[in-house]
Amino acid sequence: MSDGSMKVWFIGAGPGDPELITVKGKNLIEQADAILFTGSLVSETVMLWSKEGCEIADSKGMNLEEINNWLIERAKKKQKVIRLQTGDPGLYGVLVEIIQALDKEGIESAIVPGVSSALAAAAAAQETLTLPEVTQTVILTRVEGRTPMPDGESLEELASHHATLCLFLSITLLHKIEQNLLNAGWSEDAPVVVVHKASWPGEQRIIRGTISTIRQQCKEAGITSQSMIIISPTLGARGFDEIKKSRLYAADFNHKFRIKNKVPRALKKTNSEKHNSDNT
């Protein structure tokens, strides 16, 4: 895990299912001397892979300074230290703020990516986020709350593209989402999927509705936290009467690994062998 120098690993724990962590992430957890995890978001079952004697702490009650100090103190002891974060470390976390503190102390850092809840939610709902000639763009964003949005990134402005929207940290703001989407020209009947605790064993819930109904549906279901909201013209595509097929796999599409309308070499060989066998 380390050459003995001071180092902190930031590992994406994935969306909730402990088996959705990467193999590399799991291997590092098995070697760690100290793990600081986000207890309100990361399943504790991930820690089952930690070795005996590993120090494990929950950061949900810590402020940023306390988190930084915890990691720095243990890294300076030349321990193998992990900061375990939900989803992917690069999305909606305090990655940069912590790394800046480590940099000031001369402590090396490394990042292991994880499966985002946006992708886990789409998988749970068995939906595709892109579809040929429907949308080829996915926007990962959030609705403005206590943290302001930069200029040009309001939900209404982003929604005007009519691409796929994956909304983090916004389940309590469905009233704003509805109004912003309608202002951006979306139909009130446009489909919406809300996935609560995507991939969490025994806790995942999927709510399907429309822009005009999803708020009430979530209220009745008691869903107020840890939910991914997906709004997309691709939702429900498996039930479409007709869809545009991807050109990548079209028989007349030529690329580096396949000559259009040409029988693959392996298949030709198999057919040839079969012909010779039939004549013997």
Per-domain boundaries in the chain: 7-115, 118-236
Averaged pLDDT for residues 4-31: 92
Which pLDDT value is given to residue 263? 55
Which pLDDT value is given to residue 38? 84
Examine the pLDDT at 1 and tell me if it is beyond 90. Answer: no
User: 205 and 168 in contact (C-beta within 8 Å)?
Assistant: no
Encoded tokens for 244: 């545009």
- CA 177 to chain centroid, in Å, comes to 21
Which pLDDT value is given to residue 32? 96
Which pLDDT value is given to residue 275? 55
User: 3-state DSSP call for residue 9?
Assistant: strand
CA distance 157 to 3: 48
Identity of the residue numbered 20: L
Which pLDDT value is given to residue 271? 54
Which CATH entry fits the domain spanning 118-236: 3.90.700.10, 3.20.20.70, 3.30.950.10, 3.60.21.10? 3.30.950.10
Identify the CATH number of the domain defined by range 7-115. 3.40.1010.10
Question: pLDDT band at 150, cuts 50/70/90?
Answer: very high
| Residue with more model confidence, 29 or 243 | 29
Which pLDDT value is given to residue 2? 42
Encoded tokens for 242: 């007709």
Using N-to-C axis directions, what is the helix angle for 64-75 and 95-104, rounded to 10°?
A: 50
pLDDT digits (tens, 9 = 90+) for 91-113: 998 999 999 999 999 999 999 99
pLDDT digits (tens, 9 = 90+) for 160-199: 999 999 999 999 999 999 999 999 999 999 999 999 999 9
pLDDT digits (tens, 9 = 90+) for 115-129: 999 999 999 999 999
CA distance 63 to 103: 19
User: 11 and 114 in contact (C-beta within 8 Å)?
Assistant: yes
pLDDT digits (tens, 9 = 90+) for 201-253: 899 999 999 999 999 999 999 999 999 999 999 999 999 988 777 666 666 66
CA 150, 62, 58, 98 torsion: positive or negative? positive
Using N-to-C axis directions, what is the helix angle for 214-221 and 174-183, rounded to 10°?
A: 170
